[in-house]
Structure 1
Amino acid sequence: MIEEKENIATKAKAKEQRTMIEIKDLHKTFGGENHVLQGVNLTVNKGEDLVILGRSGSGKSVTIKCIVGLIEPDKGEINVFGENVLHLNKSELNEIRVRIGFLFQSGALYDSMSVRENLAFTLRKHQRDLSKDEVENQVIEALESVGLADAIDKMPSELSGGMQKRIGLARTLILKPEIILYDEPTTGLDTITSREISELILDIKHKRKTTSIIITHDMACAKLTADRIMVLKEGVIHAEGTYEELEKSDDEWVRSFFE
């Protein structure tokens, strides 16, 4: 009996170490009538890239914004690193946020700051004891990881859309996050640049051992990056599987994403 209990405890601990994000029965309504999330349940395991598909307005971006506290859900549970983020105070939530990178659709760079200043500002905000040389070295390292070290003195207005996405990603990577949330990382980019960003997401996963959720409409991005795909419909997870499994789904609505 004791041995059985120990085995159960060991398995539970192993599961906890594997599970990076767990969402249970997540609900969110806007304006009293727009029921965007109506009971979303999902799990993301360590080292996994999960892609979430869905029509516009289906709640994909709302889901990941709830994870980092940018949107407060009406109901549900969100466990990140084993902590229910909805029960954390501001200080505790900030500690979790530092371990999570969030790449916004626009890249969200500060227009009045150079690339160097954008990255340095983020780093100094969270690591105040770094010397000027340490900040500079980490800025260069982050830019090299996205192939844009030569853009260090440029202003955001001088960068193409693809370059802005890369710089936004470098700013995310500078804090060495364990989880990265990508919100439409290839939106507005041409086919070649979109593929480059998708390949960069894969490269980051392999080199930095990150865990990711990728929100996208870009099926080429989904095919290249996804270990697993979930499809949101009417506020719940409607289907789940690999790209190949969902492409051959018996569900005509699910197959429509792959046509």
Structure 2
Amino acid sequence: MTQEKTNVELNPISTVNEPVIEIKELYKSFGTNEVLKGVNLTVKKGENLVILGKSGSGKSITIKCIVGLMGIDKGEIKVFGSDITKMDNSELNKIRVRIGFLFQNAALYDSMSVRENLGFTLKRHAKDLTAEEVENQIKEILESVGLSEAIDKMPSELSGGMRKRIGLARTLILKPEIILYDEPTTGLDTITSREISELVLEIQKKYKTSSIIITHDMACAKHTSDRLMILKDGIIHAEGTYDELEKSDDEWVRSFFI
């Protein structure tokens, strides 16, 4: 990714049906291992796009490229209408504040309580808030994920499902317009996975978020997706709704739904 200074002007919030993410001909290699070989995808405002694919197909790499956590070899990545591959770090940070990223392990600070984890994130990006405003926002977002009672707990006291919810609360506290979910239900039992999937839908409805959801969990994919894409051999091999792909004539595509 180039770091050359540009005069990119960030676009305002997109209107309904306008794309908030557009990827064109994205290539990414690691040495001789070509992972992405021309990925093209679009996410519309308010849409939940699920990306499926076998392990190592480049799903997580794709979303890391979207927020500039990983450089690309070639291609275009437009977020809110601006090409992030032409941005410097200052411009990238303005985009990143509008994007939430839920990591697989929730990435909480183990030495901080839930209150401190959320407050630390909020105060880094909203330095003018009073202590009372910070506290109110922490309580509001914990209520949104159904964990108001966990405010003084340490991460070590939380179950896997609770850690996911707190990780999601920390993502939501900055009111992102886009959320990138990396395996949100991995390692959870069936009931807790269903609860997290329900929460993803509640967040989409309440906060009008647009999301990319990386998952191997077909129950999560069915429950949360407006549209699915399947990565194979470095490109988008198939695209459609859950029902459309489940009935695909392509035997390899159907194998995901067995």
1:132 maps to a residue whose letter is A
Shift of 1:16: 9.5
- Name the SS for the 2:29 alignment partner: strand
- Give the Cα separation in 1 of the matches to 2:163 and 2:47: 25
Unaligned runs of 5+ in 2: 1-13
Normalised to the residue count of structure 2, the TM-score between the two structures is 0.93
Say yes or no: does 1:240 pair with 2:201: no
Show the counterpart of 2:6: none
Say yes or no: does 1:158 pair with 2:161: no
Shift of 1:190: 0.2
Say yes or no: does 1:129 pair with 2:128: yes
1:165 maps to a residue whose letter is K
Say yes or no: does 1:84 pair with 2:86: no
Question: For this pair of structures, how many residues does the alignment match?
Answer: 245
Show the counterpart of 2:18: 18
Show the counterpart of 1:226: 225
- Name the SS for the 1:105 alignment partner: coil
- Give the Cα separation in 1 of the matches to 2:182 and 2:175: 18
2:18 maps to a residue whose letter is R
Richer in helix (by share): 1
- Give the Cα separation in 2 of the matches to 1:15 and 1:157: 41
Show the counterpart of 2:27: 27
- Name the SS for the 2:110 alignment partner: coil
1:112-151 correspondence runs (5 A)? 112-151=111-150
Shift of 1:198: 0.2
- Give the Cα separation in 1 of the matches to 2:211 and 2:239: 16
1:248 maps to a residue whose letter is K
1:239 maps to a residue whose letter is A
Unaligned runs of 5+ in 1: 1-13
- Give the Cα separation in 2 of the matches to 1:247 and 1:255: 5
- Name the SS for the 2:90 alignment partner: helix
> 1:116-165 CA deviation, whole Å, 9 max, x = no partner?
00000000000001000000000111111000010000000000000000
Say yes or no: does 1:104 pair with 2:103: yes
Equivalent pair of 2:16/2:45 in contact (CA under 8 Å): no
Shift of 1:178: 0.3
Show the counterpart of 1:250: 249
Equivalent pair of 1:16/1:82 in contact (CA under 8 Å): no
Show the counterpart of 1:191: 190
Shift of 1:34: 1.2
1:228 maps to a residue whose letter is R
Show the counterpart of 1:56: 55
Shift of 1:95: 0.5
- Give the Cα separation in 1 of the matches to 2:72 and 2:232: 18
Shift of 1:33: 1.2
Equivalent pair of 2:103/2:183 in contact (CA under 8 Å): yes
Supply the RMSD in Å over aligned alpha carbons: 1.1
2:117 maps to a residue whose letter is N
Show the counterpart of 1:44: 43
User: Alignment identity in percent?
Assistant: 76
Show the counterpart of 2:94: 95
Normalised to the residue count of structure 1, the TM-score between the two structures is 0.93
